[in-house]
Structure 1
Amino acid sequence: MLKQFFIICSGADRDLLNSTANGEQNKYAGIGATVFFTALMAFVACSYALFVVFDQVYLAIGFGLIWGLLIFNLDRFIVSTIKKKGRFWSEFIQATPRLILALIIAIVISKPLELKIFEKEINQVLLEQKNDLTLANKDQIALQYTPKIEALETDISNLKSEVETKTKEVDALYAVYITEAEGTSGTKKLGKGPVYKEKREKHDAALAELETLKTTSAAKIEILETKIAALKTDYATNVNNTQPIIDGFDGLMARVNALNQLPWLPSFFILLLFLAIETSPIFAKLLSPKGEYDYKLEDHETAVKSLVEQRIAERKLAVKTDFAINNRIYNTLSEDEETYDKRLKQARELMNKQAEAHYKKQEGLL
């Protein structure tokens, strides 16, 4: 049962193959098994690749089945059309387009399985890329907010500097009128005289200005800090909104790019493996010696070809003979008086009828 199934996969003529030796049947069963398992591998690879893309099991399996059947049909067709003539290079040239296609298919098949085989390493590369993207995303978003925040912080610093400057001025005026009262500076007179009162009033006025400045500056600083907090909140919101995009950076293209960053040698050997699997049906047919089945198939095809060519030649000869006979008949009739008189009488009657019809048509127009 399994042997017959693989023979069907090989594309061989079962009626002819069943009349050959058991070894010949086993050879074509092996070729058919190679065709079948190549298609099975294509089905698995395509299904996984589409699952990575669409994340839907049934959709991936459906398209993977179509792809596997396509590869199966293609391999079966190519293998069945390679005729063993005993000339290897002629057969190799005949299979060259299929070998080129096999390279393309091997790449397509191997990539999804490489993604699965090196999944842990790819995840590590993707994690590093996501971290870099996260930092770059934060820096890029910060460019929209940092200048505004820095400007507001500068305004706050300027307000605080004004308060500090005014505070130092008040402290200096306080020291002036205190030392005046102590007699250690100014007029050098101990006690609270007119000069002391003047300096005390100047200090009190500056102190009042300082209190007013502190009140207005505190209100302005509070407003500026509120704006800074709002900008920082907007910045954090933007970062949180864009982070899911970065977290979802693990699609098929991203994984292929991550795979390309890994050492190339393991991927290359996997590609060679699938290339060998994909081309194995072709090379199995090319390298197999011309056997009993091939001779019988050639005999059957040449017999059909000879029969068709013979029938075509017979038809051409029959047509040629028919033309020759017809020519002789018409040449003989052209010299027969009875035939001539009969044709003349018919022509005269036809012309009379045409003349009468023309006359009636003209009379109707009048």
Structure 2
Amino acid sequence: MLKHFFIVCSGVDKKIIEGCSNGEQNKYAGIGATVFFTAVMAFIASSYALYTVFDNLYAAMFFGFVWGLLIFNLDRFIVSTIRKRDSFSNEFIQATPRIALAIIIAIVISKPLEIKIFEKEINTVLLKEKNAMALNNKKEVANYFKSDLEKNKAKIESLKSEMAKKEKEVNTLYTTYITEAEGTAGTKKLGKGPVFKEKIAKHDLAKSELDTLRKTNLAKIAEAEKLSKKLEADLDKKVTETQPIIDGFDGLMARINALNKLPWLPSFFIMLLFLAIETSPIIAKLLSPKGEYDFKLEDLETALKATINQDKYQRELLVKTSAQMHDKVYEDIASDKELFNLQRSKAKELLELQANNFVEKQKRTF
């Protein structure tokens, strides 16, 4: 049962192969088994690749099954269309486009399996890339809010500097009127004279201005600090919102790019393995000598070709003979006097009718 199934997979003619020896049947069963298992590997590879895209097992398996059937049909077609010739060069020329197609199929099949085999290494590469992307994203978001944060910070520093300057002025005026009262500076007269009263008035005025300025600036600083906290919260929110996009950077294309960043030699050997599997049925047919099945198939094809050529020649001969017979018949008819006179009288009547009609038309124009 299994042998019969693999023979069907090889694409040979069932009626011809059933009349061949057991060894010939085993050869084509082996070719069919290669075709079948290549399709199975294509199903597994495409299912995994599509699972990384859809994140749905059933959808991935369905489309993977369709892809496996497509590869199976292509391989079966490639193997079944190769015919053994009397010259190896003719066979190789015939097989060249099929080998090229087999190479393309092998590369397509091997790539998803390479991704699965080197999954841990690829995850490491993707982790590094995600970390780098997260840092760059944070820098870009920070640069976006940087100007507003710096303006707000400069505003706060300006308000604090203004208060500090006014405090310094008040402290200076305080020192001035105290030293005036002590007689250590100014007029250097001990006591609270007119100059002292003038200086303390200036201090009290500056102190009042400082209190007003402090009240106003502290309110502005509180508002600016509130705005800074809001900007920082918006920055953190923006980073948090964009992080899932970075975390989701592990699709099929990302994994293929990550695979290309790994050492190429292991991946290359895996691809060569699938290339060998995919091209092995074609190479086996090219290298194997003509077998019993090939001779029987050639016999049927040549017999059919001879029959078709014979039928074509007979049809051409039939057409040629029929044309000659018709030519002879009409030649005999042309020499018949009775038919000639009848044709002559009918032509004369037709010419008379045409002449009469012409005259009638001329009369109607006047």
Structure 1-normalised TM-score? 0.90
CA distance in 2, matches of 1:154, 1:241: 29
Q: How far off its partner does 1:222 sit?
A: 1.3
Counterpart position of 1:345: 342
Partners of 1:181 and 1:287 in 2: CA distance: 121
Distance of aligned partners of 1:79 and 1:181 in 2 relative to their CA distance in 1, 3 Å threshold: same
Kindly provide the CA deviation profile for residues 64-116 of structure 1, in whole angstroms up to 9, marking residues without a partner as x: 22222222222212211111114222211111112212222222111111221
User: Residue type of the partner of 1:232?
Assistant: E
Once the two structures are superposed, the pairs formed by residues 353-364 of structure 1 within 5 Å of their partners are none
Identity %: 59
2:279 aligned partner: 279
Q: Contact 2:163–2:214 (CA<8 Å) still a contact in 1? A: yes
Deviations, residues 26-79 of structure 1 (Å, cap 9, x unaligned):
001111111111122112222222221122233222222222222222221221
**Partner residue, 2:312:** 312
Q: Deviations over 1:139-189 (max 9, x none)?
A: 212222111111111111111112112222222222222223333333333
Work out the CA distance in 2 between the residues paired with 1:160 and 1:316.
112
AA in 2 matched with 1:185? A
- The within-5 A match list for 1:63-102 is 63-102=63-102
CA distance in 2, matches of 1:229, 1:316: 98
CA deviation vs aligned residue, 1:299-357 (integer Å, no higher than 9, x gap): 1211221222122223323333333444444444544xxx3214533653576489679
Q: Relative to 1, partners in 2 of residues 1:47 and 1:350: Cα closer, same or farther, differing over 3 Å?
A: farther
- Distance apart, 1:249 and its partner CA: 1.6
Name the stretch that deviates more: 274-283 or 173-182: 173-182
Q: CA 1:351/1:72 → structure 2, altered by over 3 Å: closer, same or farther? A: farther
Task: Tell me the distance in 1 between the aligned counterparts of 2:344 and 2:60.
Answer: 80
Distance in structure 2 (CA, Å) of the matches to 1:48 and 1:21:
41
**1:50 counterpart residue number:** 50
Q: Is the 8 A contact 2:334 2:340 kept in 1?
A: no
1:1-366 pair list within 5 angstroms: 1-335=1-335, 339-345=336-342, 348=345, 352=349
Please state how far the C-alpha of 1:294 moved relative to its aligned partner: 0.8
* Most deviating of 125-134 and 15-24: 125-134
Task: Tell me: CA distance 1:353–1:193, structure 2 relative to 1, closer, same or farther (3 Å).
Answer: closer
Give the whole-Å Cα distance in 2 for the aligned partners of 1:261 and 1:200.
79
The answer for unaligned runs of 5 or more in structure 2 is: none
Please provide the CA RMSD for this pair.
2.6
Aligned residues: 363
- Give the CA deviation at 1:2: 0.9
- What code does the residue aligned with 1:27 have? K
Q: Write the letter of the residue equivalent to 2:208.
A: A
The 3 A distance-change label for structure 1 pair 182 and 316 is same
For residue 237 of structure 1, report the CA deviation from its aligned partner.
2.3
Contact 2:9 2:33 in 1 (8 A): yes
Alignment-mate amino acid for residue 68 of structure 1? G
For residues 272-315 of structure 1, what are the alpha-carbon distances to aligned partners after superposition, in whole Å with 9 as ceiling and x for unaligned?
Answer: 11111221221121122211111111112112212221222233
Is the contact made by 2:156 and 2:221 (CA closer than 8 Å) also made in structure 1? yes
